[in-house]
Amino acid sequence: MPRHTHEHEGAIEGRESDHYDTIARLFAKPFYSRMAREIAAFAPRDAAVLDAGTGPGILLRKLSRARPDLELTGIDIADDMIAHARHNLAGLATAPDLRAADVADLPFDDDRFDLVVSTFSTHHWDDPEAGAAEIARVLRSGGRLRIYDFRDAPFDAVLGQPGLTDIRTTPFRSVWSWFTKATRLDATAA
């Protein structure tokens, strides 16, 4: 019987979450490894990092191993994905903080994070403008945002966000590039 706890269009739940977890663990390792290397290279020492749309937590696992100094937090709209992330992150020396939450209503104080990352989740967000505003709210001044997603993801929501500056997009070759082009967006909190 599928588990459904949220009524969000973009949530990956039930059997779909099981399939996504399997694909992420078995076939997307090179992709997550590449993103983790990139993020680990520019994350400040002892940075507080939020993975918005963490899914099964594969990126957090790789970041934890690459940079044990980072304070890692992951959110996902689907309780099922958080359950997969807890399973996939079991055994780490320091377990990331995992929460079921909507990016459009983040359960964190203002100026909480040095870095927010999102990997192929923005195209699932019910309200991209509210999500971008919430990310800008929880980023510290000078904090960084990095989004990896399909070329047609709602990047305009970030581009129009007054709390974010130095916004630039670049093509990104991903494991899914065989089917569609990907983009990496970088921004800095004002």
- CB–CB of 57/50 below 8 Å? no
- CB–CB of 123/101 below 8 Å? no
Tell me the pLDDT tens digit for each residue of 131-144.
999 999 999 999 99
pTM beyond cutoff 0.75 = yes
Give the three-state DSSP class for 63: helix
How many CB atoms sit inside 10 A of residue 55's CB? 28
pLDDT for residue 179 = 52
| 14 within domain boundaries | no
How many CB atoms sit inside 10 A of residue 92's CB? 15
CATH code at position 141: 3.40.50.150
pLDDT for residue 3 = 31
Q: How many residues does the chain have?
A: 190
| 22 within domain boundaries | no
Number of domains in the chain: 1
- Beta strands per DSSP E along 44-163: 48-52, 71-76, 97-100, 113-119, 139-150
Per-state percent for the chain, helix, strand, coil, to nearest 5: 35, 25, 40
| 26 within domain boundaries | no
| 9 within domain boundaries | no
pLDDT for residue 67 = 97
List of the chain residues with pLDDT < 50: 1-7, 21
| 65 within domain boundaries | yes
pLDDT for residue 88 = 86
Query: Which residue matches tokens 């994070």?
Result: 113
Give the three-state DSSP class for 30: helix
| 7 within domain boundaries | no
| 60 within domain boundaries | yes
pLDDT for residue 161 = 92
pLDDT for residue 174 = 62
3-state SS string for 129-141: HHHHHHHHHHEEE
| 90 within domain boundaries | yes
Range of the structural domain that residue 120 is part of:
32-189
